[in-house]
Amino acid sequence: MPSLRNRWVYFFCALFIMLASAAGANDYPVRPITLVVPYGAGGTTDISARQLARLAEPLLGQPVVIENRPGGGGVNAMRTVSRAAPDGYTLIATTSSPSFVAPALRDTGYDTLKDFTPILNYSGPWHGVLVNADSPYHTLAELLDAARDGARLTYATAGALSGARLAFTQLGRDTDARLQHVPFDGAAGATAALLGHHVDIALVPAYRDLVKSDQLRLLAVLDDQPDPDFPEVPTLEQSGHDIQFPSIVALMVPHGVSAERAETLRAAFSQAASSPEFATVMNKLNQPVRLLPGDEVEAVIEKNLAAYHQLAETLKR
């Protein structure tokens, strides 16, 4: 039977371990945090993530280091982060395509809903249905009528498996409109192709300045809500088509990060994303600030995973 002295030794050892554990939990973060960007340096997701990280650093008391992991349309980076330690020191700034479009089409090696915890959404550019300013089409209905009547119209997107492409493919099927897809490696190439009159239509974001300078005409938006810069332009749903492509740019952590650490991250990045300085940066990038809490991000992903699974099955027929 342990002596009284040994009992006191055991007691103080246990107390020390408990206090050390509590201190460790309360001290987070104690080292740099890595924010993974699933695209190359210089793009809008990269630039916005860097600015957000810079503004969050003094709030967290630690550096936030950007790590670019391009490839696979964002899928490779998502897979890597899904397997990272759930300690709150690795985040990803992810978008719609690797979050709910790609997983609906193929095995990505991760389950967005099960393998990640959303922290918050901070942006999400509207994608527009755009034509050149000298195009004969002034409404989406006029364009679809022409495609049904034999006009051979081409449309550009940022990729063969982009959500915008899937949405427009469904639109063509629903309306019997013949629309030929021309995929590009990114929205910049698709926009340039439209400006150069190499295609008739482009489904791209970051169109505000080009529309306001009368270089392009906006016929509709693919999002579930109108673009506040162009409130008179309808969504596809408002145009009578049950199709949408909501866009997100969200911070996520691997599933298993403690609620306390997730809240620390949410508070810091939410404050950074709400700052006037971040709004100025995003305005220069022609990107909106769209703040959503983590639970609403999860709901958006869940809804659209189901929708794109259904769309993918439809397109196989």
Q: What is the mean pLDDT of the chain?
A: 90
Contacts of 119 (CB under 8 A, 6+ apart): 91, 250, 251, 252, 253, 262, 265, 266, 269, 294
pLDDT at 97 over 70: yes
For residue 311, what pLDDT band results from cuts at 50, 70 and 90?
confident
pLDDT reported for residue 10 = 52
Per-residue pLDDT tens over the stretch 247-282: 999 999 999 999 999 999 999 999 999 999 999 999
Q: What DSSP string runs through 130-166?
A: EEETT-S--SHHHHHHHHHTT--EEEEES-TT-HHHH
Which residue did the predictor score with more confidence, 184 or 49? 49
**Domains of the chain: residue spans and CATH:** 31-124+247-316 (3.40.190.150), 128-221 (3.40.190.10)
Per-residue pLDDT tens over the stretch 139-167: 999 999 999 999 999 999 988 778 898 89
Contacts of 50 (CB under 8 A, 6+ apart): 66
Closest CA to 144 of 239, 243, 245, 246: 239
pLDDT reported for residue 188 = 84
pLDDT reported for residue 6 = 54
Per-residue pLDDT tens over the stretch 7-16: 554 555 444 4
Give the sign of the dihedral formed by CA 189, CA 190, CA 191, CA 196. Answer: positive
Name the least confident of 37-46, 74-83, 206-215. 37-46
pLDDT at 17 over 80: no
For residue 24, what pLDDT band results from cuts at 50, 70 and 90?
very low
pLDDT reported for residue 73 = 82
- Cα–Cα distance, 42 to 40 (Å, whole number): 6
